[in-house]
């Protein structure tokens, strides 16, 4: 018996929550463990960032190829199970280089799930009107996991140590795999949709984005926004220091941002397909106002309010962007398009991290947030240019690869 669409999406959302909460807890434990084992070395901390957050962007296209070329449901399950096995290994090894090597492998193992779960949503719901709801619910699960995970990891590391946290994360991956296995529904498109869009290897997603002006502009806008987010992420702790609220205030900033993102995802789940371009631009606008507000805030309470606004806007834009990508991309290549988009965005995030250091010296923590806010507003201005093109025509099915117009610069 087929799992009802909304039940399938709820299970996928719960799987993302469990998996991401465990992963973020494990990431917190990994940073703490490496930091302690290397006598508080900033170089090793930077390396940890590169093999986790940085590696996801570089390796994402490989995961997209696997999710497109293999049975997508099986790819998601095996991604979780291999990740679980690797986190067991992470709990066993001890040398810093071994920890980072296994962490890099876990980042690679997780990439098919990231791209494949987004690509599968239109097939799971089988109703164009439910795509935004599905993306919003999965976004709520993901953002809850990202919000809860670091706090959980911090508490558990102090209580039981890093090794048990890695093992708990392995269990969370197994639970996630079980939830995906329990979904009796089609994760891939029907056979006659698997046209020659499925060719081209892992670079096919980048090529498809380049040929579709809407997706190219949306991806570019997100790169601009996330570059600004990278500046903000690095500035968070100095902002807390500036207002003399220390680690507690820093944790509150992250938690309030997460709360905003959860509410934003929930609200975005109620939008129509026609509203997605407007919601995308609105999300960028809220994020920009949040960044500028942190720059101007005279009190820490206003910083927290602006962090909520930034998280809220980011979540609105994420759900809208995913819907636009899903509707404009044929199933045979959808995982790779999602992966190419995320890879480009992660690259911009890394640039933001690199620029943040000198910018903090030149502008201070709040001044650096101002640049992040301006970047978010710039992303919104860029997205405005394709609002008319991005809006779907009522009753029109997603176009195939052959029907997509070639961009003027091709």
Structure tokens at 56: 């996801």
- Summarize pLDDT for 9-68 with one digit per residue, the tens: 999 999 999 999 999 889 888 988 887 888 877 678 778 877 887 777 788 889 999 999
Confidence tier at 404 by pLDDT (50, 70, 90): very low
Chain position carrying tokens 């860029």: 382
CA dist., res. 145 & res. 14, Å (int) = 9
Give the chain's mean pLDDT: 87
Contacts for 340 with CB less than 8 Å, ≥ 6 apart: 60, 61, 64, 205, 206, 208, 209, 219
Average pLDDT over residues 380-392: 82
pTM attached to this predicted model: 0.85
Architecture per CATH, 1-187: Up-down Bundle (1.20)
Question: Is 261's pLDDT higher than 70?
Answer: yes
pLDDT confidence band for 105 (50 / 70 / 90): very high
Residue owning tokens 């819907």:
323
Share of the chain above pLDDT 70, in %: 91
Domains 1-187 and 201-392+399-410 share a fold: yes
Q: What is the pLDDT of residues 144-202, one digit of tens each?
A: 998 888 888 878 888 888 899 999 999 999 999 999 999 999 998 754 444 444 456 77
| Cβ(399)–Cβ(195) below 8 Å | no
pLDDT, position 126: 85
In whole angstroms, give the CA distance from residue 126 to residue 282: 27
Asked whether the beta carbons of 132 and 323 are under 8 A apart, the reply is yes
The residue ranking higher by pLDDT, 13 or 246, is 13
Q: pLDDT value at position 255?
A: 83
Per-residue pLDDT of 286-329, as tens digits, reads: 999 999 999 999 999 999 999 999 999 999 999 999 999 999 99
pLDDT of residue 190: 55
57-97 per-position pLDDT tens digit: 788 889 999 999 889 999 999 999 999 999 999 999 989 99
The correct answer on CATH 1.20.1250.20 for the domain covering 201-392+399-410 is yes
170, two tokens: 């392995």
Q: Domain limits of the chain?
A: 1-187, 201-392+399-410
**pLDDT at residue 384, rounded to an integer:** 93
């Amino acid at each position: 018996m087929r799992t009802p669409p909304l039940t399938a999406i709820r299970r996928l959302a719960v799987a993302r929550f469990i998996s991401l909460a465990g992963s973020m807890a494990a990431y917190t434990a990994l940073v703490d463990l490496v930091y302690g084992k290397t006598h508080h070395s900033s170089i090793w901390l930077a390396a940890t960032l590169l093999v986790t957050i940085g590696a996801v962007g570089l390796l994402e296209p490989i995961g997209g190829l696997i999710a497109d070329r293999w049975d997508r449901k099986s790819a998601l399950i095996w991604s979780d199970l291999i990740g679980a096995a690797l986190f067991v290994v992470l709990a066993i090894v001890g040398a810093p280089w071994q920890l980072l090597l296994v962490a890099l492998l876990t980042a690679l193992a997780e990439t098919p799930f990231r791209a494949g779960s987004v690509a599968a949503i239109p097939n799971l719901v089988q109703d164009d009107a439910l795509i935004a709801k599905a993306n919003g619910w999965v976004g709520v699960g993901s953002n809850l996991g990202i919000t809860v995970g670091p706090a959980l990891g911090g508490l558990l590391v102090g209580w039981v140590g890093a090794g048990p946290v890695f093992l708990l994360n392995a269990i969370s991956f197994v639970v996630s795999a079980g939830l995906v296995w329990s979904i009796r529904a089609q994760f891939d498109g029907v056979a006659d949709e698997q046209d020659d869009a499925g060719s081209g290897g892992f670079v096919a997603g980048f090529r498809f984005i380049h040929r579709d002006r809407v997706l190219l502009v949306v991806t570019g806008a997100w790169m601009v926004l996330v570059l600004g987010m990278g500046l903000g992420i690095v500035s968070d702790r100095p902002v807390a220091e500036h207002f003399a609220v220390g680690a507690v205030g820093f944790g509150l900033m992250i938690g309030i941002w997460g709360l905003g993102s959860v509410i934003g995802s929930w609200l975005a789940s109620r939008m129509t397909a026609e509203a997605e371009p407007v919601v995308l631009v609105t999300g960028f606008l809220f994020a920009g106002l949040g960044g500028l507000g942190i720059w101007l805030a005279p009190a820490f309470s206003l910083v927290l309010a602006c962090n909520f606004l930034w998280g809220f806007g980011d979540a609105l834009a994420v759900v809208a962007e995913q819907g636009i990508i899903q509707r404009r991309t044929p199933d045979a290549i959808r995982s790779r398009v999602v992966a190419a988009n995320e890879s480009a965005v992660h690259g911009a995030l890394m640039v933001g991290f690199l620029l943040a250091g000198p910018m903090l010296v030149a502008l201070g923590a709040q001044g650096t947030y101002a640049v992040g806010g301006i970047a978010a507003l710039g992303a919104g201005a860029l997205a405005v240019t394709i609002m008319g093109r991005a809006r779907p025509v009522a009753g029109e099915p997603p176009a195939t690869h052959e029907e997509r117009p070639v961009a003027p610069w091709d």
